[in-house]
Chains A and B, each alone.
Chain A
Amino acid sequence: MNRKEDLSLSVAMPLDSAREGQWVRIVSIDGGRGLVTRLLAMGLLPGTPVLVMRNRGRGPCLLAVRNSRIAIGRGMAHKIRVV
């Protein structure tokens, strides 16, 4: 039973296309191993609710995650899929 298939990926979108002010939930992260573990340690893992605070132009995104504010580069945000 594959968990990623549970949360139908058809509705998931990359984090960088979420609207500002939108609450989303992380479905999957596919980055390099090192980066994934850093994101995990910072509290971003599948299932985590995330508020998109800034996401405009081509700069980095600003997220509210578990009571902290985290900035991630646009390239990285593209690899995080959310619903």
Chain B
Amino acid sequence: MSEQTGGPPPTYTVALAGNPNAGKSTIFNNLTGARQKVANYPGTTVETREGICRYDKAVLRVVDLPGTYGLTPFSVEEIIARNFILDEQPDVVVDVVDASNLERNLYLTTQLIELGRPLVIAFNMSDIAAAQGLKVDLRRLSELLGAPIVQTVGHRNEGTDALLKAIVETARRQDRYEPRKVTFGNEIEEEIARLSQLVADRKVLPGHCRPRWAAIKLLEGDADFLARISSPDVIQAAERSRRHLRNVFGDAPEIVIAERRYGFISGACQQALQSTVELRHTVSDKIDEVLTHPLLGLPIFLVLMAAVFGLVFALGDPLAALVERFFDNAAILLTRILPAGRLQSLMVDGLLRGVGGVIVFVPNVALLFLAIAILEDSGYMARAAFILDRLMQRIGLHGKSFIPMVLGFGCSVPAIMATRILEHRRDRLTTMLVLPLMSCSARLPVYVLLAGAFFPESPGRAVLAVYLLGIALAVAMARVFRSTLFRGEATPLVMELPPYRAPTLRGALIHTWDRTKMFLRKAGTVILALALVMWALSTFPTAPDLEADYKARMADAKAAGRGDEVAALSRQLAREKLERSYAGRLGHVLAPILRPVGLGDWKVATALVAGFGAKEIVISTLGTLYSLGSESGNEALREALVADTHFNPLVAFTLMVFVLTYVPCVATVVAVGRETGSLRWPLFLIGYTTVLAWATSFAVYQGGRLLGLG
């Protein structure tokens, strides 16, 4: 990409690579400011960010690659990082290196050198390293690695300008870039020469791949790369070379190659380093003596979890209530302004409730993302996984799964988003699928109403029983999924515990803002659309004759001065309209299916259908179906239910269990769809929860009847 005079400024693509915890995202924020967008790689759950910045008449498109230790395809992150560099051929790759842990960080550097794109090294956290006595001859090291090195201190925004300068200069000189050669010793070099000759002759290399790099990957037996090579000759030759090397070294070639890379690194370090550091963990280790203590670790974790829960819900719920009140007032206002009728209903019950139903999640979701950012940036998240690993492995889940599961008691939507902290797809999907069984706060009003009506002596015990049943079902289902859908050993824990660090407010806020924006844009629109569908289901088809009939009777009653009768007629009209709507008809259709579980009443079935919109709607729908106005409150509904011969304590408890287990609300289903990037998993979620709800309720109801409780 050469520079033209007078034309538009050249755009360079800059890829940011580095180890996890090397301070990559802080450098990224410094480079791009708040002008960035978050995206998920297609078909994966890995989050990437991209931003634009300008420097010296050039435009830089900076892409933040996932943090990786190497570029061998162990995880999705590594494959994504590698394929981005291979396929998109960025003009410059910036390698963010944690200066206080140099040797390990330079391992990735050697692999980036092998890939052959022009490289700039950001020597990050150089302040900590210097304070601990690290003295580096940067010019020498830069020569040895064949790349300019810029000292940066990410969290103080130091060195950003120098880094930009180095990036632009390197991009402008990229045609003349010649990567250093990391050599592997005679035996291996011979095989590399042979294989790179072969792949060059056969012209089997994808894209811009360098033959030497390809040869190294073939020797390493890199499965992801082998899959890209179509020539059986090359594969066979690679297999022969690997066998030869294994015989020579008595060890797998990839291990020997890794050793040689470390050899290159320690050679470079010996020449460039005047002293080394071995201090940076002292404070961190002290903290870990307490936080990862075999006995204290778990209680401390639980306290911190309570704090997170408090932040997300105790602080978030009043804010959410404010949002709700705002939308309620807006609804009242609109009802007054707009003439009664279809348009008013669409605007108030459809659109406004739909938009409100999305915005109402924002306080909880934003606070959750803030909490996650703080836990991650401080380094505690890794400790949490360490502490819980054993417990969660038993269930077949990852240590980190605990956090979304706990959040599930508040609201499933932010909890589903919290599963992002899990790296492996298997762990993430299992957690997502069982998470809705952790009873969310929207279901609580349903339990409270039913338990209050039918278990007046001990409503708390009945509610607690439902919560415990939910946890038990979640554990059981996790085991079922792990032994069927996501078979295989639990993902072994291999994880760095980074030194503790005070999180920066700026970094945490940028994270929170980005992710909340993405929630609004991606999930919000679909939730709104489905809310409108739910509205239409309970509004159409219309019954004009019925309405005209009631209007006439109401007018008569009004003329006769019988105010009570007018109100009663209006409630009866609402009930009949709902019964004739699609939702009501669906209720009639579903009622027979629910009879074996004791819920064979069309009113209950209709309320459950409406509850797909949001679980708390179950109550207001029941209210309408018992011809109670919204103003008469829960007390009236409680009395109506107790008076209904269809209901008894067993039926009420079964209904509670059903509400716990059946299809989660629209927003949760959409969140699962968004996070997995597919239609399959949300549909599966709907399917399995339906079956589970029916089966569990059947067991509860019929079991109860056998015990003579019905």
In the complex, which residues of chain A have a beta carbon less than 8 angstroms from the beta carbon of B497?
62, 69-71
CA distance A69 to B101 in the complex (A): 11
- CB distance A42 to B104 under 8 Å? yes
Question: Pick the contact of B74 from A2, A37, A64, A75 — CB < 8 Å?
Answer: A37
Measured between alpha carbons, how far is A18 from B70 in the docked complex, in Å? 28
* Complex contact B221–A43 (CB within 8 A): no
Are B492 and A76 in contact (CB-based, < 8 A)? yes
Scan residues 55-87 of chain B and give those whose CB is less than 8 A from a CB of chain A: 68-70, 72-75
Task: Name the A residues within 8 Å of B284 (CB-CB).
Answer: 69
Do residues B280 and A41 form an inter-chain contact, with CB atoms below 8 A? no
Chain B neighbourhood of A43, CB < 8 A: 103-104, 107, 262
| Contact call B70/A76, Cβ cutoff below 8 A | no
A71 touches B386 (CB 8 A): yes
Would A42 and B69 be within 8 Å (CB), given that A33-B223, A37-B254, A76-B492 are in contact?
yes
Which of B68, B108, B254, B386 sits near A62, CB closer than 8 Å?
A: B386
Contact digits for A28-64, partner B, Cβ 8 Å, 1 yes 0 no: 1101011111111111011100000110111110101
Chain B residues whose C-beta falls within 8 Å of the C-beta of A66 in the assembled complex: 101, 103-104
B281 touches A5 (CB 8 A): no
Q: A62-B292, A67-B103, A69-B281 are in contact. Are A38 and B254 (CB under 8 A)?
A: no
When the two chains form their complex, are residues B294 and A59 in contact, meaning their CB atoms are under 8 A apart? yes
For residue B616, CB closer than 8 A to chain A, the reply is no
Q: Does A1 contact B (CB under 8 A)?
A: yes
Whether B258 is near chain A, meaning CB under 8 Å from some CB there, is yes
Closest Cβ of chain A: how far from B624's Cβ, in Å? Answer: 53
Contact: B250 with A4, CB < 8 Å? yes
Q: Which residues of A sit under 8 angstroms from B251, Cβ to Cβ?
A: 3-4, 28, 46
Question: Which residues of A sit under 8 angstroms from B220, Cβ to Cβ?
Answer: 37
Q: Are A56 and B492 in contact (CB under 8 A)?
A: no
Q: Give bound CA distance, A28 to B592, whole Å.
A: 64
Determine whether A68 belongs to the interface, using a CB cutoff of 8 Å to chain B.
yes
Determine whether B493 belongs to the interface, using a CB cutoff of 8 Å to chain A.
Answer: yes
Say yes or no for B89: interface residue by CB 8 A criterion: no
Q: How far is the CA of A62 from the CA of B294 in the complex (A)?
A: 12
Q: Please pick, from A29, A46, A60, the residue contacting B493 in the complex, using a CB distance under 8 A.
A: A60
Residue of A2, A36, A62, A75 near B252 (CB, 8 A) is A36
Q: How large is the interface on B (under 10, 10 to 19, 20 to 34, 35 or more residues)?
A: 35 or more
* A35-B74, A54-B292, A57-B294 given; A42·B249 CB < 8 A: no
Q: Roughly how many angstroms separate A76 CA and B493 CA in the complex, as a whole number? A: 8
User: For residue A9, which residues in chain B have a CB less than 8 angstroms away from its CB?
Assistant: none
- In the complex, are the beta carbons of A67 and B254 less than 8 A apart? no
B70→A59 contact, CB < 8 A: no
* A60 CA to B104 CA, complexed, in Å: 22
The reply to whether A36 and B255 form a contact with Cβ atoms under 8 Å apart is yes
* B496 CB contacts on chain A under 8 angstroms: 42, 68-71
By the criterion CB–CB under 8 Å, are A67 and B390 in contact? Answer: no
B276-320 interface with A by 8 A CB criterion: 277-278, 280-281, 284-285, 288, 292, 294
Name the CB-closest residue of A to B281: A69
Which residue of the partner chain B has the closest CB to A42? B69
Check if A45 sits within 8 Å of B493, measured CB to CB: no
Q: Which residues of B line the A interface, CB within 8 A?
A: 68-70, 72-75, 100-101, 103-104, 107-108, 220-221, 223, 249-252, 254-255, 258-259, 262, 277-278, 280-281, 284-285, 288, 292, 294, 382, 385-387, 389-390, 393, 489, 492-499
Q: List 10 A-B contacts (CB under 8 A).
A: A4-B251, A34-B72, A38-B69, A41-B70, A41-B107, A59-B386, A68-B498, A69-B497, A76-B492, A76-B493
Instruction: Other than A38-B70, A53-B285, A68-B496, give 20 A-B pairs with Cβ distance below 8 A.
Output: A3-B250, A3-B251, A28-B251, A33-B221, A34-B74, A42-B69, A45-B258, A45-B259, A45-B262, A60-B389, A67-B103, A67-B104, A67-B278, A69-B285, A71-B389, A72-B494, A73-B389, A73-B492, A73-B494, A75-B492
Q: Which 10 A-B pairs have the closest CB atoms?
A: A41-B70, A2-B250, A41-B69, A73-B493, A40-B258, A37-B72, A38-B74, A73-B492, A69-B497, A59-B390
